[in-house]
Structure 1
Amino acid sequence: MKWQATEMDTYLQAKEYVDTAIIPLIPLSWQREVKQTVAMGEFISIITSEVEKQFHGRVVQFPSFTYLKTESFDKRIIRLSEWKEELRAGGINHIVYLTSDGEWKTVEGELVGMLLWMPTIPLEHMDMNYKKDVISDQMKQLIPILTNQWQAK
């Protein structure tokens, strides 16, 4: 389910089946590596939407957790911890973070939940059919990871 009022009616009716939050981690920079930073966010946003479609009724696609590339990881972790507390109090058992920012791998152990890092694939110059194939290939890799996570708990 998406973070939309119309989707929340469905959520409230099927609350006991929805136990996973999908949170895209989106960097922001307007001074250095602007295009690369935007490409990361664009790619992860597309992947997040596809995960939501694939697991509609099991996951909620939350708004992006945006952060400045210059923001310290301590601050980012504190803010994400507040999100985690809110979600857990509301009945979310699994939190999945999606990112193309490899720096998150350095603090993965400090996160509560699963971090899925995917290298950015530049989609801007691909034709639509090839773009769909690339996204489909990425999803084929993500689906077993997510289903294994659910089965493990």
Structure 2
Amino acid sequence: MKWIPQDLETYLNAKEYVDTAVVPLYGISTMDGLKQSAEAAEFITLLTTHLERQFTGRILLFPPFTYLSRVQNERLVNDLLEWESEIKMAEFKHLFYITADSNWRNVEGSLQGSFIWLPSLPLGQMSDSQKFEMIDNQVKQLFSIFSQIWAENE
């Protein structure tokens, strides 16, 4: 389910079945890394949207946690921990963070949720069918990660 009123209405009526929250992490750069940050955001958007379609009824895709890439890690971690606290209070059993920003790998131990880092794939020169195939392959790999974590915590 997506963060839209219709899906949230469904979520509220079937809350006991939706046990997983997915939060995309987007680093925004307006300087040298402008194009790279846009490519990463496009990649993570397509990936998490496809992931949400595959697991409709099991996950709720939250809006992206968006931050300036130049901001220090400690501040970002504290902000994200506030999100985590809110999500945990909503009684989600599982929380996944998905990003293409490798800087999060340095602080993932500070977070309770499961952290998934994927290198961004440049999708700009691909046709829509090529993008779909690439994203579909990535989601298939994520399926095993999600399944393993769900099985460990059931």
TM-score bracket, shorter-length normalisation: over 0.9
2:23 is aligned with 1:26: no
Count of equivalent residues = 153
TM-score by length of 2: 0.97
Shift of 1:83: 0.7
Q: Which residue of 1 aligns with 2:66?
A: 66
2:106 is aligned with 1:106: yes
Root-mean-square deviation (Å)? 0.8
Q: Which residue of 2 aligns with 1:81?
A: 81
Supply the distance in 2 between the matched residues of 1:140 and 1:5 (Cα, whole angstroms): 28
% identical aligned pairs: 40
Structure 2 residue identity aligned to 1:36? Q
List structure 1 segments (4+ residues) > 2 angstroms apart after TM superposition. none
2:132 is aligned with 1:137: no
Shift of 1:133: 1.1
Structure 2 residue identity aligned to 1:64? P
| Structure 2, gaps ≥5 residues long | none
Supply the distance in 1 between the matched residues of 2:121 and 2:28 (Cα, whole angstroms): 18
For 1:127-151, what per-residue CA distance to the aligned partner results, in whole angstroms no more than 9, with x for missing partners?
1221111111111100010011111
| Structure 1, gaps ≥5 residues long | none
- Secondary structure, in 3 states, of the residue corresponding to 2:6? helix
Supply the distance in 2 between the matched residues of 1:11 and 1:58 (Cα, whole angstroms): 9
Shift of 1:75: 0.7
Shift of 1:31: 1.2
For 1:80-120, what per-residue CA distance to the aligned partner results, in whole angstroms no more than 9, with x for missing partners?
11111111111111110000011111111111111111111
